[in-house]
Amino acid sequence: MTGTWLKNGSGGTDAPLRLFCFAHAGGGGGFFQPWREKLLPEVEVCPVILPGRETRVAEPAFRSMADLLGPLCTGLAPHLDRPYALFGHSTGAAIAYEVARRFQDDPARAPRRLLVSGRRAPHLAARRPPYAGLADDDFLRVVAELGGTPREVMRQRDLMRMFLPALRADFHLNETYRPLPGPRLTCPLSGFTGDHDPEVTPLELRLWETTSDGPFRMRVYEGDHFYLAGLPEPLHSDLRRDLSETVRQSVS
């Protein structure tokens, strides 16, 4: 894997905290562009780009967490030279969690906070059958129903079929992911979801608190699986609060 893992790299600011952001299945760094413009100046937003999308569209996407985690953590390691937090939405929440687990035993590179969104706790089995193996038309219908992909893009069938391999790979990664036994995290953990998200209930989100010995904070917003699109004000306010707290703890 030769492509860069971060959209626009890192190190462009003197912000005391980096926030690495992992998108939903099929998503890319562009999903977090509003965050770069709206969040605290003390936070450098670093969207992560996985193979198979955006500037890495020519690279094959990973189909399993086990295969992804090694190259991803190797790619992120040079950017862990200052305090950081991890945010993940949906599939990205599982990836962010595993990155946190990978680095938590290294005092110099352990995350200061994990923020997860739109995904049930990692030890919970799915409540629906897997989608990754569906026929193309059925699979694209499911993707459209979940939202997150602009309608004008969904209507361009040739374009969507070009992105099908990466989409399927992401769904397969998420649907086959099972966390290996291991110690609980020690960092603070924040959970976020929409009140009409078909993928996760508030109770399933709350069970993330069993994955860390650190304090857990949970918020539920009005909306579906993509309640966070565009960074609406309630989420914006809560993110600023959590990240401000993390910045203060990091520099104290």
For residue 11, the model assigns a pLDDT of: 59
- Give how many domains the chain has, as a whole number: 1
* 222 located within any domain: yes
* 90 located within any domain: yes
* 37 located within any domain: yes
* 116 located within any domain: yes
Helix axes 91-103, 65-76, angle to 10 degrees: 60
Q: What is the pTM of this model?
A: 0.94
* 10 located within any domain: no
Provide the sign of the torsion angle of the four alpha carbons 229, 231, 234, 235, taken in this order: positive
Instruction: Going residue by residue through the chain, which has 252 residues, state the pLDDT in tens, using 9 for 90 and above.
Output: 456 999 876 556 889 999 999 999 989 999 998 999 899 999 999 999 999 999 999 999 999 999 999 999 999 999 999 999 999 999 999 999 999 999 999 999 999 999 999 999 999 988 888 999 999 889 888 888 888 776 776 778 777 788 889 999 999 999 999 998 888 999 999 999 999 999 999 999 999 999 999 999 999 999 999 999 999 999 999 999 999 999 999 877
90 is catalytic: yes
Of the residues 10, 64, 90, 244, only one is catalytic, namely 90
* 157 located within any domain: yes
Q: Which domain, by its residues, includes 28?
A: 17-251
* 5 located within any domain: no
* 7 located within any domain: no
User: Which CATH number belongs to the domain containing residue 195 in this structure?
Assistant: 3.40.50.1820
Give the up-direction half-sphere exposure of residue 90: CA atoms within 13 A in the CB hemisphere: 24
